[in-house]
């Protein structure tokens, strides 16, 4: 599929697949998945009694399987799926198996360029992770919450490092959980541990943890902060200095600590989804300034307008702009960019996408069962039966719309200036 710059950015519409009805001989077809470049649409199909395959545009994988689930396109354009054959599971990409079959496979993750694919894996009643089909040497009684470094060289997951008998409360309180990086478990044991997160380079991992039943903190490469809290949320690495920041709850209020020291004084009812810009100078978050009043916040300065429910904070590439989805308790969704809601409410909205130059913002929305693409608050000229999130060209002047219209899969390149 190549880089975005190599895609077809000629303005206009192209019909990629004329009819999405099941091909001849197929008993049924599941929901479709579109490739990032909009040149391919795929779906799991039943090709015979107990036989399944994957339709890709108007062709079908040669290989068939007993079961197929979780199809996902990788950043490099390959279609990965988790497939069962002879009661065992394996990762498959573009119809070719990757690695050996095993007891179970789940949670497909991709490196940034798509060259590496990681999965959670169960083998011989033990759990761990695989990269491109290669399983960790050390496996555990339990493993979950996988993390994959951006460049694809390292994996991490929460693991149960020691056995626990039924109703063994004392053992639980002592701690049996930790993080394993590339299969190597940290020496520290925690009552609970969550959200392992890699830094940009992939050589450091931070996680939220419980060091005792009542004490929560952040641990970085198995070194817990000296300070503990009543609650903490997911940590983030600062690109500028490699420090770790996290939302923390102190005396009933939320703030942000960095490396165990106060960064934002605890004054919020809630604080979550911390996001640094690329420079590490700007720290964004979703905060609640009082009960039921949520908004976005930059460097501890909340936007003026608040909303009953807020989610999906997205920060622009230059760090100057941000967008959130606001709703009235999951009804009447609104898209809010730079603190100002776009016109209109929707039955559903998806996270905003910024152009690479940060000048334009786009989003997918649904109303009355129809789907639209909005750019800078204005809708494309028509709606669709289904649509995928928009993608901007590298120069930010065009937007790619991947949609289903009248049972056809269409690929539309629209000029941003025409919205």
Predicted confidence band of residue 2 (pLDDT cuts 50, 70, 90): low
What's the rounded mean pLDDT across residues 157-185?
91
What's the rounded mean pLDDT across residues 137-153?
96
What is the pTM (predicted TM-score) of this model? 0.94
Q: For residue 375, what pLDDT is reported? A: 98
User: Hey, how many other C-beta atoms are within 10 angstroms of the C-beta on 54?
Assistant: 25
Long-range contact list for 192-197, CB < 8 A, 24+ apart? 193/158, 193/219, 194/145, 194/158, 194/234, 195/145, 195/234, 195/235, 196/145, 196/147, 196/156, 196/157, 196/158, 197/147, 197/234, 197/235, 197/236, 197/237
pLDDT tens figures, 19-44 = 999 999 899 999 999 999 999 999 99
The rounded distance, in Å, linking the Cα atoms of 196 and 297 is 24
pLDDT tens figures, 55-78 = 999 999 999 999 999 999 999 999
Q: Tell which residue, 159, 249, 155, has the closest CA to residue 205.
A: 155
Inform me whether the pLDDT recorded for 1 exceeds 60.
no
Q: What tokens appear for 214 in the block?
A: 């009542």
Residues with Cβ within 8 Å of residue 255, at least 6 apart in sequence: 247, 248, 262, 263, 264, 265, 266, 267, 268, 271
Distance of CA 342 to the CA centre of its chain: 24
pLDDT tens figures, 379-408 = 999 999 999 999 999 999 999 999 999 999
- Extended strands (E) in 164-305: 177-181, 184-185, 192-198, 205-210, 216-220, 223-224, 231-232, 236-237, 244-250, 253-258, 261-268, 270-276, 283-290, 293-298, 301-302
- 158-180 as b/e, with b when 16 or more CB fall inside 10 Å? bbbbeeeeeeeeeeeeebbbbbb
Inform me whether the pLDDT recorded for 166 exceeds 70.
yes
């Amino acid at each position: 599929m190549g880089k975005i710059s190599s895609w077809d950015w000629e303005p206009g519409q192209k019909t990629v697949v004329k009819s999405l009805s099941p091909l001849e001989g197929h008993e049924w077809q599941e929901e479709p998945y579109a490739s990032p470049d909009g040149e391919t649409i795929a779906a799991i199909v039943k090709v015979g009694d107990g036989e399944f395959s994957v339709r890709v545009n108007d062709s079908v994988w040669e290989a068939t399987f007993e079961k197929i689930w979780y199809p996902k396109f990788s950043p490099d354009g390959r279609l990965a799926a988790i497939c069962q054959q002879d009661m065992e599971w394996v990762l498959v990409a573009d119809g070719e198996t990757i690695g050996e079959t095993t007891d179970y496979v789940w949670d497909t993750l991709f490196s940034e360029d798509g060259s590496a694919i990681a999965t959670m894996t169960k083998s011989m009643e033990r759990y761990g992770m695989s990269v491109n089909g290669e399983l960790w040497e050390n496996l555990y009684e339990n493993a979950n919450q996988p993390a994959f470094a951006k460049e694809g060289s390292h994996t991490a997951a929460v693991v149960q490092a020691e056995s626990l008998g039924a109703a063994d409360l004392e053992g639980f309180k002592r701690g049996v959980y930790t993080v394993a990086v590339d299969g190597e478990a940290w020496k520290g044991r925690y009552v609970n541990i969550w959200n392992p997160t890699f830094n940009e380079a992939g050589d450091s991992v931070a996680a939220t943890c419980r060091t005792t039943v009542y004490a929560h903190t952040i641990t970085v490469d198995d070194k817990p902060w000296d300070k503990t809290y009543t609650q903490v949320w997911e940590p983030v690495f600062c690109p500028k200095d490699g420090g770790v920041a996290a939302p923390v709850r102190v005396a009933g209020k939320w703030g942000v600590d960095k490396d165990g020291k106060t960064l934002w004084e605890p004054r919020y009812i809630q604080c979550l989804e911390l996001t640094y810009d690329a420079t590490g100078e700007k720290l964004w978050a979703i905060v609640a300034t009082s009960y039921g009043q949520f908004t976005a916040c930059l460097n501890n300065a909340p936007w003026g307008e608040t909303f009953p429910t807020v989610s999906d904070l997205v920060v622009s590439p230059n760090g100057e702009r941000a967008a959130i989805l606001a709703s009235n308790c999951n009804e009447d969704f609104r898209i809010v960019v730079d603190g100002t809601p776009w016109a209109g409410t929707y039955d559903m909205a998806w996270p905003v996408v910024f152009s690479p130059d940060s000048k334009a913002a786009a989003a997918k929305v649904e109303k009355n069962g129809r789907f639209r693409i909005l750019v800078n608050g204005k809708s494309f000229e028509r709606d669709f039966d289904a649509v995928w999130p928009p993608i901007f060209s590298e120069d930010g002047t065009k937007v790619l719309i991947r949609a289903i219209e009248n049972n056809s899969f269409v690929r539309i390149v629209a000029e941003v200036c025409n919205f």
